Amino acid sequence: MSEIREDPAVSLFREYLKIPTMHPDPDYSKAIDFLCKLAEDVGLDFKTIETGPKELFVIMSLVGTNASLPSLGLYSHMDVVPVFPEHWKVPPFSAEKMENGDIYARGSQDMKCVGIQYVEAIRRLKKEGKRFLRTIHVMFGPDEETGGKRGMIPFMKHPESKRLNLGFCLDEGIANPGPEFRVFYGERSCWWITVRCRGNPGHGSSFIQDSAAEKLTKILNTAMDFRAKQEQRLNSDPSLTIGDVTTLNLTIIKGGVQHNVVPAELFASFDIRIPPHVDLPEFEKELGRWCREAGDDVTLEFDQKCDSPHKVPLDSSNPWWTAFMSACQSLSMEVKTEVFPGATDSRLLRECGIPALGFSPMNHTPILLHDHNEFLNEKVFLRGIDIYYEIIPALANVSGSCHLTL
């Protein structure tokens, strides 16, 4: 009995997955060579833009019939997070396919699948002689997984990004174990803060008054009480997702020199994610109140403050959304709109006034981004190409300037 021939798109996907673009030392050179050959094979213009040492932003382009109109951007990132091979059932960059079609590799969900799906959908459309009103730019960026400081951030400041004249972009979403396809129209602001508590030092055998530990305890109690209320709010309202509430997690505690010395300083760091509907200046004032109520010499420092208040409108005022949903409805797709719980490069596009939706066509799939044994089934992958085959023309043929204020 002869083996069933693998779909060429799946073979390309697996080839891309085998390239170890893993932090802290991603091999972008092999990825760019692969993408260059892919663009040439499909017949797309190809260029790279340097955004950092050894970091290049890849742009594949298909010129539209009215290139003066704002273009459609299809974005994915090349880099992936680290792995712990001892926890994987197969080598994490083997792209091994199981008998049921599950393809195991770091990046299979986050998000090398999407980049190949874009290009394979365009390949099919080009073969059929389809033309589009707007220019399409398929973009592959570096450094998303470490914040975009050598990727999307410098790219958006580069003159080339202005020449692309982006009017709308698609970026990554998240898998869903259920039947719905998740679409993300905004993101939570990411605040990393450190609270510094200073107090009276002394001998560990005494009752030292006004100590750093007393103040830190008050901060921790207040923070954990806030966290519990947000978790209760999420669990008590089925209409809410985690992107609709503020999460707060204690991630680092530092301080002290030895067991019998009461320290003069203690530090606590928190990861806070804030949904777009929250008044950010008012929330910052609330954090200040926590510090004041904990005692004197309690200060707050921002280690990272990424504000993401921008939301893409999901109504008839947004022709991009109307076109996107029209394509989804033609495929009888059940769509669930959400605020993204983490951070993606979409936030940087929205900050520049470019509406961006997060969407990865992976339903009936466990959420495994950044997890051990990340996989994507080949049928789900191929279905994603079918979905982009409908969505890309719908977006690329939207008429008018379509300017939105975010």
pTM (global) more than 0.95? no
pLDDT tens digit sequence for 224-247? 999 999 999 999 999 999 999 999
- Mean residue pLDDT of the chain comes to 96
CATH 3.30.70.360 in the chain is located at 189-306
Q: Tell me, which fold does domain 189-306 have in CATH?
A: Alpha-Beta Plaits (3.30.70)
Q: 333 pLDDT band (50/70/90 cuts)?
A: very high
**Over the stretch 52-74, which tens digit does the pLDDT of each residue have?**
998 999 999 999 999 999 999 99
φ, ψ for residue 310 (rounded to 5)? -80, 135
CATH code, 8-187+309-396? 3.40.630.10
Query: Where exactly does CATH 3.40.630.10 map onto the chain?
Result: 8-187+309-396
Single out the catalytic residue among 55, 79, 378, 390.
79
- Do 134 and 70 contact (CB within 8 A), yes or no? yes
Contact 122, 136 (CB under 8 A): yes
User: Looking at the predicted structure, is the pLDDT value of residue 342 above 90?
Assistant: no
**pLDDT given at position 3:** 56
Catalytic residue among 143, 144, 145, 187: 144
pLDDT value at 1 more than 60 = no
Res. 406: pLDDT tops 90: no
Q: Examine the residue annotation and report whether 79 is marked as an active-site residue of this protein.
A: yes
Residue 2's pLDDT is what? 42
Structure tokens at 21: 């673009």
Q: What's the pLDDT at 399?
A: 92
What would the pLDDT profile of 345-380 be if each residue is shown by its tens digit? 999 999 999 999 999 999 999 999 999 999 999 999
Is 390 among the catalytic positions? no
Name the strand (E) or helix (H) holding 351: helix 346-351
| 270 neighbors 292 (Cβ within 8 angstroms) | no
- Angle (CA) 80 191 198, round 5°: 125
